[in-house]
Amino acid sequence: MQFLLTPPLQKPEINPIFMENSQEFEDLLQVWDFATSFPDYLEMKVFKLEELYAGLKYTGDEEVGLITDLFSALADCLIWEIPETESEDTETALWILKEYTEERIKLIWPQIVQTLINSEMFGFETDEELLTLNERLTSITPSNFNAEFTYGEKVRLLQFLTFTAHDLQGFREVMNERIV
């Protein structure tokens, strides 16, 4: 089954991927490898590298389903790691995120990612570039994300989220189930 990209995108030739900045391509490959190796963890369909590349290269004002699904799935993995002890009594508003449905997450994933990065719960290793990207997420919606962020910036955010997912308890449990 092939993943449908919305809006309909032109399939790029594979050669331009290899002509990109080699570090960006390596980062893209790491994101794709994680997503296609663990679709059960992310609750996503497997997709081709070319589809991810085309979705990330898209700069129009329309939402790209694959990109929204990937960011939403990674955000959802982080949300599930919020401890049950987070409640209305705590200083953070992280407990609210646990109440969101999958559909709601898809509508506001940029703000969810921003909230999660801003929280110190996960002990994120951030740098100036990531903090700048995170700050820009404030006014972003899934529909204007593609026009406001470059290909490299999108890859950087996804790479950060996939690296973070490696350290989550839920991911460890999926790995343990595969090993046993």
**Average confidence score pLDDT of the chain:** 83
What is the average pLDDT across 43-48?
A: 94
Tokens of 68: 């929204």
pLDDT at 11: 60
Burial-class residue 16 by CB neighbours within 10 Å (0-12, 13-18, 19+). Answer: exposed
Q: Identify which of 165, 177, 1, 178 has the alpha carbon closest to the alpha carbon of residue 80.
A: 165
- In the chain, % of residues over pLDDT 90: 40
- In the chain, % of residues over pLDDT 70: 82
Q: Please give the torsion angle defined by the CA atoms of residues 23, 65, 142 and 106, in that order, rounded to the nearest 10 degrees.
A: -110
pTM of the full predicted structure?
0.82
Tokens of 5: 């990209």
> Which of 51-55, 85-89, 94-98 has the largest mean confidence?
51-55
Residue pLDDT, tens place only, 69-81 = 999 999 999 888 8
Q: In this predicted structure, which of 7-16, 25-34, 90-99, 130-139 has the lowest mean pLDDT?
A: 7-16
What is the average pLDDT across 32-44?
A: 95
Question: Is there a contact between 63 and 143 (Cβ–Cβ < 8 Å)?
Answer: yes
Please give the biggest Cα pair distance in the chain: 54
Q: Which residue's structure tokens are 């490299």?
A: 152
Residue 148 burial (CB count, 10 A)? 16
Q: Which residue's structure tokens are 């290793």?
A: 125
With a cut of 50, say whether residue 1 has pLDDT above it.
no
DSSP code per residue over 5-62:
PSS--PPPPSHHHHHS-HHHHHHHHHHHHHHHH-HHHHT-----HHHHHHHHH--SSS
User: Residue 132 — pLDDT band, cuts 50, 70, 90?
Assistant: very high
With a cut of 60, say whether residue 17 has pLDDT above it.
no
User: Residue 96 — pLDDT band, cuts 50, 70, 90?
Assistant: confident
With a cut of 70, say whether residue 175 has pLDDT above it.
yes
Structural domain boundaries of the chain?
15-179
With a cut of 70, say whether residue 4 has pLDDT above it.
no
Could you give the CA distance from residue 137 to residue 38 in angstroms, rounded to a whole number? 26
